[in-house]
């Protein structure tokens, strides 16, 4: 992190990074996700399961649940103004989800060191039942999200 970012309030920095990411995140917007909360190393996103998100069993296709968790992970690991991408992700589906259900995913940073981080995301339905658990491993790449910083500090 550069000296300018180091002098910013961590919550304000996290919010500015989330705002910048959201502005360009066509996938999350297109799926109807909404950013509920952001903090350093943490994010909460929500999404309502639409009819076009259901599979042949009449339940939400797992790919959409994964995408909600992955988007939440992305917002959580990009709260430090250092461009960060997924290196590896895994999900465990625990409960089926029906059309019309609103899902909420909560990502929490478990560890962050060097260029890597580990984040856990819990996806819950509207009755607060856990429907999926996701773990993402992040990797920082060059550059910052916000335009008011020099791009590389090596």
User: Is 92:132 a contact under the CB 8 Å cutoff?
Assistant: yes
Q: Is the dihedral of CA 76, 82, 85, 88 positive or negative?
A: negative
Kindly provide the residue ranges of all beta strands, DSSP E only, lying in the chain, ordered along the sequence: 34-39, 42-48, 84-93, 102-113, 116-124, 130-140
In CATH, which of 3.40.50.300, 3.40.50.720, 3.40.309.10, 3.10.129.10 is domain 3-140? 3.10.129.10
- Measured CA to CA, the distance from residue 8 to residue 109 in angstroms comes to 20
- Measured CA to CA, the distance from residue 42 to residue 59 in angstroms comes to 28
Query: What are the residue ranges spanned by the domains of the chain?
Result: 3-140
The distance of Cα 105 from the centroid of its chain, to the nearest Å, equals 8
pLDDT of residue 45: 98
pTM above 0.85, yes or no: yes
* Residue pLDDT tens, the chain, 154 long: 444 455 679 999 999 999 999 999 999 999 999 999 999 999 999 999 999 999 999 999 999 999 999 999 999 999 999 999 999 999 999 999 999 999 999 999 999 999 999 999 999 999 999 999 999 999 999 999 998 644 433 3
- Measured CA to CA, the distance from residue 57 to residue 145 in angstroms comes to 40
Q: Count the Cβ atoms, other than its own, within 10 Å of residue 64.
A: 19
CA nearest neighbour of 37 among 56, 51, 22: 22
């Amino acid at each position: 992190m550069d000296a300018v970012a180091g002098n910013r309030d961590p919550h304000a920095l996290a919010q500015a990074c989330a705002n910048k990411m959201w502005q360009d995140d066509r996938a999350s917007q297109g799926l109807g996700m909404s950013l509920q909360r952001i903090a350093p190393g943490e994010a909460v996103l929500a999404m309502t399961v639409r009819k076009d998100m259901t599979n042949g069993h009449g339940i939400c296709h797992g790919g959409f649940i994964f995408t909600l968790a992955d988007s939440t992970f992305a917002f959580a690991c990009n709260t430090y103004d250092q461009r960060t991408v997924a290196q590896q992700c895994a999900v465990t589906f625990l409960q089926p989800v029906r059309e019309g259900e609103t899902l909420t995913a909560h990502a929490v940073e478990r560890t962050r060191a060097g260029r890597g981080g580990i984040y856990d995301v819990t996806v819950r339905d509207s009755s607060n039942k856990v429907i999926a658990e996701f773990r993402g491993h992040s990797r920082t790449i060059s550059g910052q999200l916000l335009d008011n910083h020099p791009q590389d500090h090596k």
